[in-house]
Amino acid sequence: MATRKLLLLSRSSSAHLHSIGRSRGGARGIGTSSSSSAVDELITPPVKISDTQLLIDGKFVDAASGKTFPTLDPRTGDVITHVAEGDVEDVNRAVAAARKAFDWGPWPRMTAYERSCILLRFADLLEKHKDDLAAIETWDNGKPYKQAAESEIPNFIRLMRYYAGWADKIHGLTVPVDGEYHVQTLHEPIGVAGQIIPWNFPLLMLAWKIGPALACGNTVVLKTAELTPLSALYAARLLHEAGLPPGVLNIISGFGPTAGSALCSHMDVDKLAFTGSTQTGRTVLDLAAKSNLKPVTLELGGKSPFIICKDADIDKAVEVAHFALFFNQGQCCNAGSRTFVHESVYNEFVEKAKARAMKRVVGDPFKPGVEQGPQIDTKQFEKIRTYIKSGIESGATLECGGERHGSRGFFIQPTVFSNVQDDMLIAKDEIFGPVQTILKFKDLDEVIRRANKSHYGLAAGVFTQNIDTANTLARALQAGSVWINCYHTFDAAIPFGGYKMSGIGREKGVYGLSNYLQVKAVVSPLKSPAWL
């Protein structure tokens, strides 16, 4: 199977910054980037928004309360449209529809091949409407259109076809035992799955969740992120056009403390899957335990090390490390956000990393050539700026960036810090933004110890030409994914998940199926068996 890599979409932008601590690159004053024109002249998105209601029992309906909330264009902060605001009553309606569809409906009772055919038709419809999906994803999220169109939508389609292929290959075992018994295991769908997806990759996370759940014969109630509700609703309409029975997939747009909490606490939900922050993951786990002790899959935060060894090809390492951090505006749970560089090549790497960041093109994500769009909203924008300020005040060297880009929207200049120490907040906390922190190390034992000294363990990167070094680090690093001489390489078949406080369980690949299956042992006596 060919590996599908999330595309490296990079080229350049200038950076002017305000410095309140140590910095390089000349004096800076408080202000905005001089290249704001790339943001000011915006392209009108080439798509019409029509799906804004809740999806319950196969129909798009208003929230029971009649309430709506705005979803914003991160380029400007302006309202794109208003979306139905689901609450407890809507979650109850959606769960009831999913329960009815599972207990009495055709979905778990049709042949696995029939389910596979519906998922394949869905993938064909996604292909047909891929331009609209990419435009909605960019408009609502702020990610570059090229990234959405050439990487994320194809990966979404590929993943749905992958799990469509698994639907009729899920089976149990015949188990030999001591005694005259026939023993078999059945792999049964778990029931009603509650799922909550994040805002940074709305469509990909939709696929990661519903793909295995539906292939296994479950029904789903899914809550979208309140910041990016639009693309999942569009995709859900296509899934019903493909022949999905009513009630099998229900989608609630709404907020965590209301709709999210109701879903996690619901006594008729059999399984939860959540992707988001570690803090919220704790809450999800707690609500699941306090209700019906439903099993939970969690994909949470990260502070992933990217280790550049002394024998690395520095030019290639700079480019991959840049991609590891800045991809998707740095809004990746598995971003290579702690760049460890061997002391013998540290200065060269820092200068080249700075030069690469200053060439990064920031602007309207619909424009060709733009590598970095806006952050998702004002809260995330201000959070990142607070971390930048903390880095300067704690004594790290601000090499470039550090300021707002443009005069409106939520754009931040690509930012690089050197001379970063392990105890600084920018080296410990998940910033979730375009801020590269570069740390120095002396030997492998040291960097292994420091890389693993984190509450997180989602991913890691290694750049070396020595296979022994690569193998040593791959086995020593406490992370669910280790990329060697590459980063952000994903495929439908590659499992993803974290160690420690980065989560519980794995998504994608064959491992993702186990989240949505129950194993039942069936034992019956044999009478005068010819063999055992």
Question: Considering 85, 137, 152, 299, which one is annotated as catalytic?
Answer: 299
Comparing CA positions, the residue from 123, 215, 240, 234 lying closest to residue 510 is 215
Q: Which residues pair with 2 in a beta bridge?
A: none
Q: Please tell me the distance from the alpha carbon of residue 300 to that of residue 284, in angstroms, as a whole number.
A: 11
Q: Please tell me the distance from the alpha carbon of residue 368 to that of residue 341, in angstroms, as a whole number.
A: 33
Is residue 276 within 8 A of residue 300, CB to CB? The reply is yes
Comparing CA positions, the residue from 214, 239, 253, 240 lying closest to residue 69 is 253
Q: Is 299 a catalytic residue?
A: yes
Beta-strand (E) ranges in 174-245?
174-175, 181-189, 192-196, 219-224
Q: Please tell me the distance from the alpha carbon of residue 312 to that of residue 158, in angstroms, as a whole number.
A: 33
Q: Please tell me the distance from the alpha carbon of residue 192 to that of residue 110, in angstroms, as a whole number.
A: 17
Instruction: State how far the alpha carbon of 281 is from the alpha carbons of 336, 486, 498, in Å.
Output: 21, 29, 13
Q: Which residues pair with 456 in a beta bridge?
A: 500
The helix or strand, by DSSP H or E, that contains position 522, with its residue range, turns out to be strand 517-525
Comparing CA positions, the residue from 225, 54, 53 lying closest to residue 140 is 225
Q: Please tell me the distance from the alpha carbon of residue 126 to that of residue 502, in angstroms, as a whole number.
A: 31
Backbone φ and ψ for 491, nearest 5 degrees, come out as -155, 155
Is residue 64 within 8 A of residue 89, CB to CB? The reply is yes
The amino acid at residue 498 is G
At 132, list the tokens.
Answer: 């609209």
Buried b (16+ CB within 10 A) or exposed e, 78-100: eebbebbbbbbebbebbbbbbbe
Sign of CA dihedral 319, 321, 324, 327: negative
Compute the chain's Rg from CA coordinates. 24
Sign of CA dihedral 163, 498, 487, 470: negative
Catalytic residues: 299
